[in-house]
Chain A
Amino acid sequence: MATRQKTSAPAAGGAAAQPQTVRDAVVVGGNRIPFSRAGKKYADASNQEMFTAALEGLVARFGLQGERLGEVVGGAVLKHSRDFNLIRESVLGSSLSPATPAFDLQQACATGLEATINVANKIRLGQIESGVAGGSDTVSDAPIAVSEGLRRALLEAQHAKTWQARAKALAALRPGDLKPLTPATDEPRTGLSMGEHQAITTARWGIAREAQDEIALASHQHLAAAWDAGFFDDLVTPFRGLTRDDNLRADTSIEKLASLKPVFGRSLETPPTMTAGNSTPLTDGASTVLLGSREWAESHDLPVLARFVDAETAAVDFVHGHEGLLMAPVHAVPRLLARNGLTLDDIDFFEIHEAFASTVLTTLAAWEDVDYGKNELGLSGAFGTVDRAKINVNGSSLAAGHPFAATGGRIVATAAKLVAQRAAETGRPARALISVCAAGGLGATAVVESV
């Protein structure tokens, strides 16, 4: 109403600005560095070095040297306070035009996808013509903080006006205060690690160990096959002597996976099922995705893989166990598909981030559950069943690893290339659904479609 009044009553304040229409944002391509298990090849690589490497590879691949892009958006989950402008500093260290703006954002493991949503939305609104989304994370080079006691004493000493006051502030220190704080993946509100949270969700849904190991095995087999088929040749740039994801175990077997001891959920009443094999390892890496308007891609003679259709984020009440920590995407996807007039049957590829093998399985189980569909998702029954053959067809985080903020970019690039390939093969449009769970009971989901 307000808008119409504005446009139909020029007397009130002169001519209104031109109304904006939403246009398409497309994925041109992606580039990442191979992901590496923590403490190995990238042990001394910083987030900025890794993100710059991934970005520079993208610039080289699409000939963007000296180009002023509309925006570069990304972040890191484990981030040092000195890296307040991580992405802008990476842009300045790249061969993009220094006139390319940038900003950092963070949404835990959904950082990379949220960055893509931001860039796509700016393009769709006509605010920018092109942009890069991505993320970087290192567990090996993680920031280490001082204890709360030491931090407070140092701050107090710094604020003190006299040396006596300074000495008094420092005298309050106890030996225990000198122990550094290493970043933990424990949820601040519950004290439970992400693995323990997922072990609880796994127990609630009664997910079997064998089913989880099968997901893990498929992830390694699919990722290995994709590497062998050259799928990642134009999606990855080698870094520090690494040419493939070094967590990938092409030769793993169901027997090997079954031999691993459970590591999460060991103090629950039900037998533990989650092992190092069916959980993602701590990983270092960075990824980027190039997006633009169709016009921009055309004018720069760049290919278009997919249209970034729409996205939906969700959050769940996990603190007192009403919902599982990693179940937010389960809520986001029905809303996302409904808004776009789609059903699960309209999706050709399901890219469900494998935080744990059981995350995929609890997601599927919840969607297939009638009561859950009614009571938790507000549907008339179960949301639906996903054809297993469509899930993570080129592998996912269990095999590739999961450098938190870098996972979104890896998945968006993979999904965009998958739908482009499928459409080229069949001549029919293809769609991929992306689902990423995150700490804090968060989740981000998106749909990409071939053009």
Chain B
Amino acid sequence: MTAEPLRTGDGTALRVETQPSLPGLGGLYARGAAASGRIAAGRALPGLPVIGAGRSPSDTDHDGGPLTLPDVAYRVAGVSTAGLGRHLHEYQRLLHEPVSDVLPAGYLHVLAFPLATAVMVRGDFPLPLLGMVHLHNAVELRGPVRLGDALEVRAWAENLRPHRRGVQVDLVAEIRRDGGDPAERPVWRGVSTYLAKGFSLPDAPAADDEPRAEWHLPLPTGRWALGPGTGRAYGAVSGDRNPIHLSALSAKAFGFPRAIAHGMYTAARALADVGHQRGDAYRWTVEFAKPVLLPGTVDLAVTQEEDGFEYVGWNGRRRQKHFSGTVTPL
């Protein structure tokens, strides 16, 4: 099952474990919930190893380190997109993308997301899946991926680092054309950065407190009226049925007053709003701020800059920023 090693951004070598197929997300959430419970219990009970709680680096080393990320990358080859037409078109209609046989970058995220989630629900993944906060996301699409293309997907976690409210980690996913040169740049690469609140790293330098820049409301170029079922609809298409998105009741269990929109739904709609000017190859980033409560109205401003587009979404009544990002043609 082990193939050639893979190196992360900071040079760590990872074993590549080839999986027979992309996992289903439903089962992963069940496992994720169980693992989250185990980790929470671990933090609450004295005497059990507690992540980073005032321990010295040597202690950590001695224990084998609950702070270390799994040294494994998952790989699935031969992922066929031939039968995804109906699903792709449902996604495109929901996200206001033009209906076509070209897979938008957000759709490729949906495709790769289960494999990245599988990494996060591993027993040796040190942070709880449920309750993690999606901070930002950066995607590079190098060229058009079309319905019918066979793909290879890889996913791993890297770059565990401090954040002022906990620790953050990057989940990296890459998509290549199947049978292509593995040394070649992937056609799609996504980096999703998550925050686990309340955790800390030993001897971590204090994370920079980001200075809060004064923000002036721009003139909107669009407005989304998001119905109460927005999270359920994106959950059905993306498979991401995290309870915080599905209903007010299930969201309350996680401390939200109402269901919240998927961050990637809002980012993907902003990407769609940019339109055909983004081209076939683009870099797409998003930084999430206040979550979008459902039902709700989001004001959006997409502005053309010299090298691409900037976008920002906010609540016009509360004057709170929900997200901002860029779409830059490559």
Given contacts A319-B275, A320-B304, A267 and B221 within 8 Å (CB-CB): no
Given contacts A267-B299, A267-B316, A267-B317, A321 and B217 within 8 Å (CB-CB): no
Does any Cβ of A come within 8 Å of B219's Cβ? yes
The smallest beta-carbon distance between A179 and chain B, in angstroms, is 10
Let me know if B217 and A191 touch, CB within 8 A: no
Task: Note all chain A residues with C-beta closer than 8 A to B309.
Answer: 320
Chain A residue with the shortest CB-CB distance to B311: A320
Chain B residue with the shortest CB-CB distance to A204: B219
Let me know if B223 and A321 touch, CB within 8 A: no
Could you list 6 examples of A-B contacts with CB < 8 Å? A176-B227, A189-B222, A267-B316, A321-B221, A321-B302, A322-B304
The smallest beta-carbon distance between A362 and chain B, in angstroms, is 14
Given contacts A269-B216, A320-B302, A191 and B223 within 8 Å (CB-CB): yes
Does any Cβ of B come within 8 Å of A167's Cβ? no
CA distance A268 to B301 in the complex (A): 12
Of residues 204 to 234 in B, which have CB atoms within 8 Å of A's CB atoms? 216-217, 219-225, 227, 229
Task: Note all chain A residues with C-beta closer than 8 A to B223.
Answer: 190-192, 196
Let me know if B217 and A268 touch, CB within 8 A: yes
CA distance A266 to B229 in the complex (A): 26
Cross-interface CB contact of B222 among A176, A192, A204, A267, cutoff 8 Å:
A192
Does any Cβ of A come within 8 Å of B303's Cβ? yes
Does any Cβ of B come within 8 Å of A200's Cβ? yes
Task: Note all chain A residues with C-beta closer than 8 A to B219.
Answer: 200, 203-204, 268, 321
The smallest beta-carbon distance between B123 and chain A, in angstroms, is 38
Interface size grouping (class) on chain A: 10 to 19
The smallest beta-carbon distance between A32 and chain B, in angstroms, is 34
Given contacts A190-B223, A321-B220, 9 further A-B contacts (CB under 8 A): A176-B227, A191-B223, A191-B224, A191-B225, A192-B222, A196-B223, A267-B217, A267-B316, A269-B217
Task: Note all chain B residues with C-beta closer than 8 A to A190.
Answer: 221-223
The smallest beta-carbon distance between B302 and chain A, in angstroms, is 5
Task: Note all chain B residues with C-beta closer than 8 A to A189.
Answer: 222
Task: Note all chain B residues with C-beta closer than 8 A to A319.
Answer: 221, 275
CA distance A59 to B219 in the complex (A): 49
CA distance A189 to B309 in the complex (A): 17
Of residues 282 to 317 in B, which have CB atoms within 8 Å of A's CB atoms? 299, 301-304, 309, 316-317
Question: Mostly helix, strand, loop or mixed at chain A's interface?
Answer: loop
CA distance A152 to B229 in the complex (A): 18
Let me know if B224 and A320 touch, CB within 8 A: no
Task: Note all chain B residues with C-beta closer than 8 A to A322.
Answer: 304
CA distance A321 to B220 in the complex (A): 8
CA distance A176 to B295 in the complex (A): 14
CA distance A321 to B218 in the complex (A): 11
Of residues 302 to 330 in A, which have CB atoms within 8 Å of B's CB atoms? 319-322
Task: Note all chain A residues with C-beta closer than 8 A to B301.
Answer: 321
Task: Note all chain B residues with C-beta closer than 8 A to A266.
Answer: 316
CA distance A200 to B317 in the complex (A): 16
Task: Note all chain B residues with C-beta closer than 8 A to A200.
Answer: 219-220
Interface size grouping (class) on chain B: 20 to 34
CA distance A200 to B275 in the complex (A): 21
The 3 tightest CB contacts between A and B, nearest first, are: A267-B316, A321-B221, A190-B222
Chain A 263-303 per-residue mask, 1 if CB under 8 angstroms from chain B, else 0:
00011110000000000000000000000000000000000
CA distance A196 to B219 in the complex (A): 10
Let me know if A320 and B217 touch, CB within 8 A: no
Task: Note all chain A residues with C-beta closer than 8 A to B225.
Answer: 191
Chain A 159-198 per-residue mask, 1 if CB under 8 angstroms from chain B, else 0:
0000000000000000010000000000001111000100
Given contacts A320-B303, A321-B303, A192 and B275 within 8 Å (CB-CB): no
CA distance A24 to B220 in the complex (A): 46
Given contacts A267-B299, A267-B316, A320-B302, A176 and B221 within 8 Å (CB-CB): no
Task: Note all chain B residues with C-beta closer than 8 A to A267.
Answer: 217, 220, 299, 316-317
Which among B216, B220, B302, B303 has the highest number of chain A CB atoms within 10 Å? B220
CA distance A321 to B301 in the complex (A): 8
Which among A203, A204, A266, A269 has the highest number of chain B CB atoms within 10 Å? A269
Task: Note all chain A residues with C-beta closer than 8 A to B275.
Answer: 319
Chain B 31-57 per-residue mask, 1 if CB under 8 angstroms from chain A, else 0:
000000000000000000000000000
CA distance A204 to B301 in the complex (A): 14
Chain B residue with the shortest CB-CB distance to A318: B221
Task: Note all chain A residues with C-beta closer than 8 A to B317.
Answer: 267
Chain A residue with the shortest CB-CB distance to B297: A267
The smallest beta-carbon distance between B65 and chain A, in angstroms, is 48
The smallest beta-carbon distance between B50 and chain A, in angstroms, is 45
CA distance A196 to B222 in the complex (A): 10
The smallest beta-carbon distance between A335 and chain B, in angstroms, is 25
CA distance A299 to B299 in the complex (A): 60
CA distance A450 to B20 in the complex (A): 81
The smallest beta-carbon distance between B319 and chain A, in angstroms, is 8
CA distance A191 to B302 in the complex (A): 13
Task: Note all chain A residues with C-beta closer than 8 A to B299.
Answer: 267
CA distance A319 to B311 in the complex (A): 13
CA distance A266 to B216 in the complex (A): 15
Given contacts A267-B299, A267-B317, A269-B216, A320 and B221 within 8 Å (CB-CB): yes
Chain A residue with the shortest CB-CB distance to B274: A320
Task: Note all chain A residues with C-beta closer than 8 A to B302.
Answer: 320-321
Task: Note all chain A residues with C-beta closer than 8 A to B229.
Answer: 176
Task: Note all chain A residues with C-beta closer than 8 A to B221.
Answer: 190, 192, 319-321
CA distance A196 to B302 in the complex (A): 16
Let me know if A192 and B220 touch, CB within 8 A: yes
Of residues 349 to 393 in A, which have CB atoms within 8 Å of B's CB atoms? none
The smallest beta-carbon distance between A292 and chain B, in angstroms, is 45
Which among A200, A267, A319 has the highest number of chain B CB atoms within 10 Å? A267
Task: Note all chain A residues with C-beta closer than 8 A to B304.
Answer: 320, 322
CA distance A200 to B223 in the complex (A): 12
Chain B residue with the shortest CB-CB distance to A148: B93
CA distance A268 to B220 in the complex (A): 8
Task: Note all chain A residues with C-beta closer than 8 A to B220.
Answer: 192, 196, 200, 267-268, 321
Given contacts A320-B303, A321-B303, A191 and B216 within 8 Å (CB-CB): no
CA distance A394 to B227 in the complex (A): 44
Of residues 183 to 214 in B, which have CB atoms within 8 Å of A's CB atoms? none
CA distance A125 to B6 in the complex (A): 73
CA distance A190 to B275 in the complex (A): 12
The smallest beta-carbon distance between A168 and chain B, in angstroms, is 15
CA distance A322 to B301 in the complex (A): 11
The smallest beta-carbon distance between B74 and chain A, in angstroms, is 34
The smallest beta-carbon distance between A186 and chain B, in angstroms, is 8
CA distance A321 to B223 in the complex (A): 12
Task: Note all chain B residues with C-beta closer than 8 A to A204.
Answer: 219
CA distance A310 to B221 in the complex (A): 34
Which among B221, B227, B301, B317 has the highest number of chain A CB atoms within 10 Å? B221
Which among A189, A266, A319, A320 has the highest number of chain B CB atoms within 10 Å? A320
